[in-house]
A and B are shown apart, each in its own frame.
Chain A
Amino acid sequence: MTAFVIRRLLQAVLVLFVTSIIVFVGVYAIGDPLEILLPPDATMAERAQVTQALGLDQPLPIQYGHFLWNALQGDLGTSFVYNQPSISVILARLPATLELAFCALVLAIIIGLPLGLISGLKAGSATDETIMTGSILGFSLPNFWQGMMLIMIFSVYLGWLPSTGRGQTGTIFGIETSLATWDGIRHLILPALNLSLAKIALVIRLTRTGVQETMPLDFVKFAKARGLSSRRIVFVHVLKNILIPIVTVIGVEFGSLIAFAVVTETIFAWPGVGKLIIDSINILDRPIVVAYILVVVTMFILINLFVDILYSLLDPRIRSKAR
């Protein structure tokens, strides 16, 4: 297990190195940040001043060399726009995104799993049909449109829930979170629901398929023959077997919830990293873009590692192989 983890971490370093080159060159190729940063009536003297201050007068390989040297010392560059270390700009916004993604994931599980179980156990019934049709809506309607509809219904017409921002935050275990105050939770409901809709649909379908595949298997028949209650069969034996694909998918999806919460964050003016990265790409704030992608890549690597370890806990066969 230890060797496995070490090998994965070494791979991770290589991936990070290659990613940094691709992103660095990629952002450089898009365009010239000065075109966007400078006001249109900027003089050439001002232009020269900024070019030099931001280090953009150096050739690309030298700029990259500087970046790499500093990165090895833990400095991922200073944002062109904010003039703060890019990593601290990102880390300042990450908690809001993590909180949103986490709540969306929890919603996906507590709503998706039971509905999927019901659907799978009562396959073909009217309940199943309803749930499945609902999940098609979750999948196929554009995330953006769902968000606007949630706002129109719950904020504009009913006036129940606020539609923008994070509301009042409080501190739980030293972490600043909206979950600490009622106002914060009210602000969190709509964006978290918006972000989770597609994931709920995904979990429903995965669970339903899993249940349908597992129920006819021999061990379920044996369990029934032994006289176990159907509740125990479903919640202990069947659930344990269908959880592996669900855990894999949820793990990867958690990464994508964080990395691609952009649409939801934009609609609900949620102060997370998704909006930051889009703005930074538009304004060609290269240090932020590079640092963000490296953070996301690291996160995906860690999540995958975590999922692999979780597997081995869920499935004894994998555990023995890993050893």
Chain B
Amino acid sequence: MTWRASIARVAITSALLASLSLTALAADIVIGRSTEPSAIDPQFSRTGNNQMTADNMFETLLSTDANLQMHPHLATEWTNIDPLTWEISLREGVTFHDGSPFTADDVLFSLDRTDKVPNSPAPFSDVVSSVDTVEKIDDYTIRVTTKQPNPALMEQIGRVFMLSKAAAEGAELADFNSGKAAIGTGPYQFVAWKPAESLTLKAYPDYWGEQPDFENVEFRFIANNAARTAALLSGSVDLIDLVAPSDVPRLEQEANIKVYPIESGRLVYLALNMRDDTAPGVVDASGQPINPNPFRDANVRKAVSAMIDRSLLVDRILGGSGVPSAQVVPSALGGYVPDLLPTPADPAEAKRLLAAAGFPDGFGITLYSSNDRFPGDGEIAQAMGQLLARGGLQVNAVQTQPYNVYAAAATKGEYGAFIFSLGASTPNSESNLRSLLQTYDQEAGTGGFNRMRYSNPEFDAMLRSAMEEFDYDTRMEKLQEATRIAMDDQAIVPLFFQKIYWASRDGIDFTPNLAERTIAQDVRLEK
């Protein structure tokens, strides 16, 4: 054999070996994510992008499934000794990434730290605000007392990320970002974070729960929609999130690409401002502001709702990427009212309601919307303008603005009729009803995002009663009842829930979820 031939043989053999080792390493995955975290400390910010990053490495007392329902996780069971006292059992045999066991001391430390993270732009304070004391009974049992009866306690403290006391005590933000303090109990452990570029993780071999399918995971942060799609098509990433609805038909045609759609919990709604005697942009035929504010009349709000053809918005403007809605949360969440369904547009009914409210000839209105917050927001505002005009209002203008300008002005009450969105991140409608529809009261701290200043004592009473109800089923019924009261009033005009999409190459499976989160544990090798 000549030396040439032997070199060739070596080359072929090593190529074969290389391809073999490639199959062994096939359990690596690259995920193209649209958002990036601002820090690795899981308690630093409870924005979605930070939480879904932390979810890979850290765990909570309760876990949240694809439908936002919560299940025992690091806490295995809990009982109420009395309405103010909870005894919680912790999972045994759980270890941190450094090998140390997870015990009550870590839980006490983590709960205590939750509202003490300095300079947090989106603190978790509220989830521990009802907690009075936390004490350790033994290594795997803790006792929590609350300041007032709080049936939702476990849903709240169940969202606190558990840190290793040994690793995180006294640690600064930089210690987490470098990975030194980023010691959790989750299925993947921290390897490296390059801001704006990537986050690398590796599987934690001693994970107590379902073993991860991938040895190495790289999240690549690709903010641009078209670039994310291109990265998937070119094979440089295996899975992408937040696929632009306009790219979905193209990807569905590709032979080797799978698309995962889900109806998300993000509601797009029209808010009608009732806070003052006049509403900005709501004028009579001569251009004068109408006093009293027409939006304070439930008939007018219902008339506006009856003018809107929700299926048309979803089908024509969004290409089907939405689900018409008549309430605040989607069907998968607790407190959803099954018989409260969106009705088709009914211009005749709208006319009748307007006449009953004393506006047989309608009135002038200006419609406001953001134009960069969610797919199609600007176009939806334009279409809504036409629908309202068809329904008998004089639409004087449709104004759209970038979200950073728009959000502050909407909160200040500078818009009369405006389009907004609200995502769901909790298992039932309570939290969204509280922030969106409860009477605004600065002192009591309620109704923080009630930009319309809707206020109905009957609704408030029912919601409060639900918040104090310890029996789960009764609590959900009360939330349903509260939703019925508010929707009878047309407190807001719900439009639709957004559909969101993930896409991957063949060979892997992803479980889409309502929470709009992209975590490695939801990605699996195709079975």
Contact = CB atoms under 8 A, between A and B. Distances in A.
Interface residues of B, number: 61
Interface in A13-58: 30-32, 35-47, 49-50, 53-54
B409 A44 contact: no
Interface in B428-448: 431-432, 434-435, 442, 445-446, 448
Nearest to B448: A44
Nearest to A152: B230
A277 to B, nearest CB: 11
A156 B121 contact: no
A190 B94 CA distance: 46
A78 B403 contact: no
Given A41-B434, A42-B448, A267-B227, A163 B234 contact: yes
B491 interface: no
Which of B120, B224, B432 is packed against the most chain A CB atoms within 10 Å? B224
Given A93-B195, A164-B32, A283-B404, A37 B123 contact: no
A261 to B, nearest CB: 13
A148 B230 CA distance: 8
B233 A156 contact: yes
B222 interface: yes
Contacts of B197: 165-166, 269, 271
Given A54-B119, A151-B227, A151-B234, A43 B220 contact: no
B227 A163 contact: yes
B123 A81 contact: no
A46 B125 contact: yes
A145 B440 CA distance: 47
A43 B407 contact: no
Given A41-B431, A44-B445, A164-B220, A267 B123 contact: no
Contacts of A41: 425-426, 431-432, 434-435, 448-449
A164 B434 contact: no
A32 B408 contact: yes
A266 B445 contact: no
- Which has the most chain A C-beta neighbours within 10 Å: B38, B46, B121? B121
B173 interface: yes
A31 B230 contact: no
Contacts of B120: 50, 53, 83
Interface in A123-164: 148, 151-152, 155-156, 159, 162-164
Interface residues of A, number: 53
Contacts of B100: none
Contact of A93 (B122, B196, B432): B196
A266 B119 contact: no
B5 interface: no
A84 B175 CA distance: 12
A53 B119 contact: yes
A66 B460 CA distance: 43
A256 to B, nearest CB: 21
A40 B435 contact: yes
A44 B407 contact: no
B423 interface: yes
A50 B221 CA distance: 27
Contacts of A166: 197
Nearest to A272: B196
Given A31-B404, A81-B38, A92 B434 contact: no
A46 B223 contact: no
B236 interface: yes
A35 B411 contact: yes
A271 B236 CA distance: 17
Contacts of A198: none
Contacts of A50: 120-123
Contacts of A283: 404
A47 B442 CA distance: 11
A222 interface: no
B24 interface: no
B72 to A, nearest CB: 23
Among the interface residues A31, A41, A159, which one has the most CB atoms of the partner chain B within 10 A? A41
Contacts of B445: 43-45
A80 B227 contact: no
B44 interface: yes
Contacts of B434: 41
A35 B230 contact: no
Interface string B11-30: 00000000000000000000
B119 to A, nearest CB: 5
A268 interface: yes
B402 interface: yes
A276 B224 CA distance: 13
28 contacts: A39-B47, A39-B48, A41-B425, A42-B435, A44-B448, A45-B125, A46-B126, A80-B121, A81-B38, A83-B121, A84-B174, A148-B226, A148-B230, A156-B230, A159-B235, A162-B236, A165-B197, A266-B223, A266-B224, A267-B224, A267-B226, A268-B227, A269-B223, A269-B224, A271-B196, A271-B221, A275-B223, A283-B404
Given A50-B120, A84-B174, A163-B231, 20 more contacts: A38-B122, A41-B434, A43-B435, A45-B129, A46-B122, A46-B123, A53-B118, A83-B118, A156-B234, A164-B220, A164-B227, A164-B231, A165-B222, A267-B227, A269-B220, A269-B222, A281-B404, A282-B372, A282-B403, A283-B404
Interface of B: 32, 38-39, 44, 46-48, 115, 118-123, 125-126, 129, 173-174, 194-198, 220-224, 226-227, 230-231, 233-237, 372, 402-409, 411, 422-423, 425-426, 431-432, 434-435, 442, 445-446, 448-449
Across the A-B interface, the 8 shortest Cβ-Cβ residue pairs: A31-B408, A271-B196, A35-B407, A155-B234, A44-B445, A271-B197, A32-B408, A37-B121
Interface of A: 30-32, 35-47, 49-50, 53-54, 78, 80-84, 89, 92-93, 148, 151-152, 155-156, 159, 162-166, 266-269, 271-272, 275-276, 279, 281-284
